[in-house]
Amino acid sequence: MATQTKRALITGITGQDGSYLAEYLLSQGYEVHGIVRRVALEDPSNRLVRLSSILEKLHLHSASLESFPSLYRVISEVRPDELYHLAAQSFVSYSFEDSFSTFSTNIDGTHSLLECVRDLVPECRMYFAGSSEMFGHAAEVPQSETTRFYPRSPYGISKVTGFHMSRNYRESYNLFIASGIMFNHESPRRGFEFVTRKITSHAARIRHGARIKLPLGNLDAKRDWGFAGDYVKAMHQMLQQDQPDDFVIATGQTHSVREFCQLAFEEVGLNYEDHVVVDPRFYRPAEVHVLMGDSTKAREKLGWKAEVTFPDLVRMMVQHDLEHFSRK
Ligand code: F7E
């Protein structure tokens, strides 16, 4: 008997992770649906740019995390086998500027989806995108699934809430809901507001002759940076297990923002110290100083490990931006 095509629904499909995940699921033979904002459908050349190479293979539906009825309608139409909830207000700095909208999008949006799954498709397997920001001011290094949460931003708090809600729905209603506690993951598709892409785009533009400085905040913050293309495979793996569970997804290495600058500028033959200026506007009211993940559980149970190393990640992003800005 022929096996039935699995149907996946992705929130946040237009973002970095959503686009890699959509490509990966298509390569695995899935029928891929995505939730996008109505304005994205009206302006595909700008808003769907990360999906441009696969757009005709996708089924896109307009809905908003802020509207329960819109989510309810899409889920009842699509009836997914797997739901990947990636959409969020994900920029930590902005969450300090507008904690209300961050809480509303990230907490109420997750709550709405959980309730839709419970009511409409209780057999659907759901992935919740947790974050290393949940560890925040962590009491231990490295951080694993057993490390206590101590979020340091409204974003981190919203993710802790989403994580606990997901676990509670799993345990209360016997749903298959898995959470990834994902450490920073980057790529040439990263938004320009995040520090890695900010650095690689500036290094490339300066190499091409732009007379600009690179203003940054805390150069000593340390992060466990991996490649987003590796991380979406872990999301999929989590939903193929016999039991739903939570997993730390990380490289196990940590590097400072300063080290990232050093490597990125070296890649274009420059010294970062000649181009970076420290600008207090980019400091955060409360900083997370060191994150480094222990993904032993993911390695043992999912057979997952990060493939792309830190120097290769920096090189990939810089080389992409050199090409990207040569066309501007
Ligand atoms: O900051 C420091 C900043 O904004 C990294 C999101 O995907 O990963 C991401 O959150 C570090 C911080 O990412 C600038 O203070 C210095 O210590 O690239 P970021 P993030 O806050 O770690 C987690 C896992 C998520 O879940 C989030 O959604 O870099 N930093 N100077 C700066 N950061 C920025 N953005 N801009 C600066 O100028």
Which superfamily is assigned to 7-186+225-253+297-301 in CATH?
NAD(P)-binding Rossmann-like Domain (3.40.50.720)
pTM of the model: 0.98
Counting atoms of ligand 1 from 1, which one is nearest the CA of 88? 28
Domain boundaries, the chain: 7-186+225-253+297-301, 195-222+254-290+309-326
Kindly list the catalytic residues: 131, 133, 155
| Ligand 1 surroundings by CB, under 6 angstroms | 90, 92-93, 131-133, 183-184, 193-196, 198, 216-218, 221, 223, 257, 282, 284, 287-288
Q: Each residue of 84-99: pLDDT tens digit?
A: 999 999 999 999 999 9
Contacts of 164 (CB under 8 A, 6+ apart): none
- Which residue from 92, 249, 292 has its CB within 8 A of the most atoms of ligand 1, so it is best to mutate? 92
Closest residue to atom 29 of ligand 1, CA basis: 195
Does residue 1 have a pLDDT over 90? no
Residue % of the chain over a pLDDT of 70 = 99
Q: Each residue of 152-166: pLDDT tens digit?
A: 999 999 999 999 999
Q: What confidence category does residue 2 fall into, taking pLDDT thresholds of 50, 70 and 90?
A: low
- Which residue from 86, 153, 194 has its CB within 8 A of the most atoms of ligand 1, so it is best to mutate? 194
**What pLDDT, on the 0 to 100 scale, is given for residue 3?**
73
Closest residue to atom 13 of ligand 1, CA basis: 194
Counting atoms of ligand 1 from 1, which one is nearest the CA of 221? 17
Does residue 103 have a pLDDT over 90? yes
Q: What confidence category does residue 279 fall into, taking pLDDT thresholds of 50, 70 and 90?
A: very high
CATH topology of domain 195-222+254-290+309-326: UDP-galactose 4-epimerase; domain 1 (3.90.25)
